[in-house]
């Protein structure tokens, strides 16, 4: 089955620094990957859609200059949280789908818990 | 009003009971309907998906979709303590997922 690997699983950083999160599709090519943020006891909120070889599409209210997304290849997308602040502390999750199952067969990474101190 | 409504629970059931979960939605463009299970501090895991209206069964899990009522359900038979998790409904239109808030389920031994 489709496998999505996400690293790191957790990270603690100082306020003002930047953090990069990687999302890889291990056994399929993903033209599109999605980045979500999840606060405790809340649902997943879509942040942006990452498209290979082109600019990401951000959801309303998500600062594109703060959350930099790069989708350099068909198997790798990265999310960089720039100048992180404590309010950016959250659980970040990526997902991807083989083109044949793009409407329903989403596989999620294991998530990255970011804590900004 | 949210596009997808789901009771956050928690829903507590004794081991062996049937777990009944549901979501309502407002966007008639949704065509694919999914249920995900999420354990604490982990990414969601796809349990079931259904296209359009109808029922689908997979082992102890049954998913139902009623597009006329904009209502979907997930039933878990013979529940086990290992089924304790948060269950999220999700719906897709043109490849973009919309999630419910998730229902926390606790199955007590």
In A1-117, which residue ranges form alpha helices assigned H by DSSP? none
Tell me the pLDDT band of B57, cut-offs 50, 70 and 90.
very high
Tens-digit pLDDT profile for residues B19-50: 999 999 999 989 999 999 999 889 999 999 99
**Residue of A108, A25, A6 lying closest to A72 (CA atoms):** A25
Residue B61 in contact with partner chain A when CB distance is under 8 A: no
Distance CA A45, CA A90 (A): 11
Q: Residues A26, A3: contact at Cβ < 8 Å?
A: yes
Q: Tens of pLDDT along chain A (117 residues)?
A: 789 999 999 999 999 999 999 999 999 998 889 999 998 878 899 999 988 888 899 999 999 999 999 998 999 999 999 999 999 999 999 999 877 777 777 899 999 999 999
Q: Chain B contacts of A106, Cβ < 8 Å? A: 34, 46, 97
CA geometry: angle A69, B92, A73, nearest 5 deg: 30
Q: Chain B contacts of A104, Cβ < 8 Å? A: 32, 34, 46, 49, 51, 92
Give every CB contact of residue B84 below 8 A, 6+ residues apart in sequence. Answer: B105, B106, B107
Interfacial residues of A (vs B; Cβ cutoff 8 Å) = 4, 6, 32, 34, 41-44, 46, 49, 91, 93, 95, 97, 102-111, 113
Residue B109 in contact with partner chain A when CB distance is under 8 A: no
Q: Chain B contacts of A91, Cβ < 8 Å? A: 41
The per-residue pLDDT for A8 is: 97
Q: How far is CA A7 from CA A58, A111, B1, B38, in A?
A: 21, 8, 35, 18
Q: Residues B23, B50: contact at Cβ < 8 Å?
A: no
């Amino acid at each position: 089955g489709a496998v999505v690997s996400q690293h790191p699983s957790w990270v603690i950083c100082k306020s003002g620094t930047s953090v990069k999160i990687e999302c890889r599709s291990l056994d399929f090519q993903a033209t599109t990957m999605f980045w979500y943020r999840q606060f405790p006891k809340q649902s997943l909120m879509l942040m942006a859609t990452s498209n290979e070889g082109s600019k990401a599409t951000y959801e309303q209210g998500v600062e594109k200059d703060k959350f930099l997304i790069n989708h350099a290849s068909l198997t790798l997308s990265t999310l960089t949280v720039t100048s992180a602040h404590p309010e950016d502390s959250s659980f970040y999750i990526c997902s991807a789908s083989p083109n044949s199952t793009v409407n329903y067969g989403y596989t999620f990474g294991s998530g990255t818990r970011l804590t900004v101190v | 009003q949210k596009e997808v409504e789901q009771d956050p629970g928690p829903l507590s059931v004794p081991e062996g009971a049937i777990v009944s979960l549901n979501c309502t939605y407002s966007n008639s463009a949704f065509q694919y309907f999914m249920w995900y299970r999420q354990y604490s501090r982990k990414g969601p895991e796809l349990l079931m998906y259904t296209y359009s209206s109808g029922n689908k069964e997979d082992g102890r899990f049954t998913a139902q979709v009623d597009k006329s009522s904009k209502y979907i359900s997930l039933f878990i038979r013979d529940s086990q303590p290992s089924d304790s998790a948060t269950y999220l409904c999700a719906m897709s239109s043109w490849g973009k997922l919309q999630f419910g808030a998730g229902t926390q389920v606790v199955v007590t031994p």
